[in-house]
Amino acid sequence: MGLKKVKIDELDFNPFTKIGKEWCLITAGDSVKNCNTMTASWGSMGVLWHKNVVTVFIRPQRYTKEFINQSTHFSLSFFNSEHRKDLSYLGKVSGRDNPDKIAEVGLHPIEIDQVISFKEANFIFVVKKIYHDQLESDSFLLDDLVTKYYPEHDFHEFFVAEIEAIYTKE
């Protein structure tokens, strides 16, 4: 089965379900041999600065963040439910500690439009970084969010990225 490029307005895609419940992989690197991926269940999609964008949130200690920092582009890959266990594993195991984690779950990295994604993905978003910042303790309006999600004060950094292409399985 091949990949088909689709226009964003033709996409039948619910970001609340796809990100929050089904999760996705954020992947960056310069080749299938030099990349890293992590699972994400937090993020957003919308329009900002008249651009179709995604926003991803990554803790500073995550290994994938090093790859994103070095790249202009990265991918978001979405899978069907048969890969849920794989995504769970890829979210718990660091590529810094286990460089073979992608192979261990049986996913096959592919290069498409300057990014790395996976042959098994149902949806692939190719995105270009356009803004980067960090969440700050003083900006939270609800104190319990800091207590609950940041007891170590390792606040997420976030990247706003323009969606340049979307691919689906044919």
CATH (domain of 154): 2.30.110.10
Question: How large a percentage of the chain has pLDDT more than 70?
Answer: 99
Dist CA 79 CA 123 (whole Å)? 7
Helix (H, G, I), strand (E, B) or coil at 31: strand
pLDDT-derived band of residue 143, with 50, 70 and 90 as boundaries?
confident
Q: Mean pLDDT of all residues in the chain? A: 96
pLDDT in tens, 56-69: 999 999 999 999 99
The DSSP annotation for 48-72 comes to ETTEEEEEEEE-TT-HHHHHHHT-S
Residue 2's pLDDT band (cuts 50, 70, 90): confident
Note the pLDDT of residue 39. Answer: 97
Domain of 127, in residue numbers: 3-169
Domains identified in the chain, total number: 1
pLDDT in tens, 79-135: 999 999 999 999 999 999 999 999 999 999 999 999 999 999 999 999 999 999 999
Residue 170: pLDDT band with limits 50, 70, 90: confident
CA-CA distances (angstroms) from residue 7 to 40, 145, 156, 166? Answer: 24, 36, 30, 7
Q: How far, in Å, CA of 11 to CA of 133, rounded?
A: 29
| Largest interatomic CA distance in the chain | 49
Task: Quote the pLDDT of residue 1.
Answer: 60
Task: Please tell me the pTM assigned to this model.
Answer: 0.96
Cα angle for residues 35, 41, 43 (degrees, 5° grid): 90
